């Protein structure tokens, strides 16, 4: 799948930090059952790659991606784990080169117009605005819309259930990334029913 197809599948992409490998499969099942099939697993814990592999095997209906790719070597490891898409917080020539050699599509992060131009020159027109709130949020996305009409965004960083609808209302926003659908307390308590309910609510935030 192309990254444009992936970001169009759901209004919210859960940004997930999996601390315990045993949580990976029930978490993916809960989110998918709630209507959020596209999942981003961040490379912030020692079990992240194993979590991706476990989710891919046990929850085939989910589209499992890897986030926080910051080094070229991360792409090969993510590929071996079965990642179906990648996400970076920024974009360097090295990361762009690694993305061209990867078997999965990339959603690269940008924060400024200069970074956007560099990403577009490298062939990317579906981008993550990150960190979205600190980068200017709604106002920044509106300002980028006119000079870059061919670019669409998945803003991530500081977006909440309350602010998500305002982002999704923008014509150049395909979806948002959010961590509120899998809060740490619910993960620690293995409250899969609660996470599924949050996912169901987030999935209802369809673009109008």
148, 120 contact by CB (below 8 A): yes
Total residues found in the chain within this entry = 208
DSSP letters along 54-85, please? HHHHH-TTSEEEEE---SHHHHHHHHHHT-S-
Q: Which sequence positions are flagged as catalytic?
A: 40, 128
What is the SS3 assignment for 110? strand
Question: Sign (positive/negative) of CA torsion 27, 156, 81, 56?
Answer: positive
Non-local CB neighbours of 139 within 8 Å, separated by 6+ positions: none
């Amino acid at each position: 799948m192309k990254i444009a197809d992936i970001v169009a599948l759901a209004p919210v992409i859960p940004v997930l930090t999996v601390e315990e490998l045993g949580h990976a499969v029930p978490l993916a099942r809960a989110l998918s059952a709630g209507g959020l099939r596209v999942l981003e697993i961040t490379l912030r814990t020692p079990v992240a790659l194993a979590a991706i592999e476990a989710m891919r095997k046990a929850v085939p209906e989910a589209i499992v991606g890897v986030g926080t790719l910051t080094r070229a070597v991360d792409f090969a490891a993510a590929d071996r784990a079965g990642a179906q898409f990648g996400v970076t917080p920024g974009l360097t020539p090295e990361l762009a080169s690694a993305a061209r050699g990867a078997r999965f599509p990339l959603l690269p992060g940008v924060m400024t117009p200069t970074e956007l131009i560099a990403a577009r020159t490298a062939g990317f027109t579906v981008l993550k605005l990150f960190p979205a709130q600190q980068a200017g949020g709604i106002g920044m996305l509106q300002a980028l819309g006119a000079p870059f009409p061919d670019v669409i965004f998945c803003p991530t960083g500081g977006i909440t259930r309350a602010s998500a609808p305002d982002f999704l209302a923008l014509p150049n926003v395909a979806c948002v990334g959010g961590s509120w659908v899998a809060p740490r307390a619910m993960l620690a308590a293995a409250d899969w029913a609660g996470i599924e309910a949050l996912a169901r609510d987030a999935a209802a935030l369809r673009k109008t």
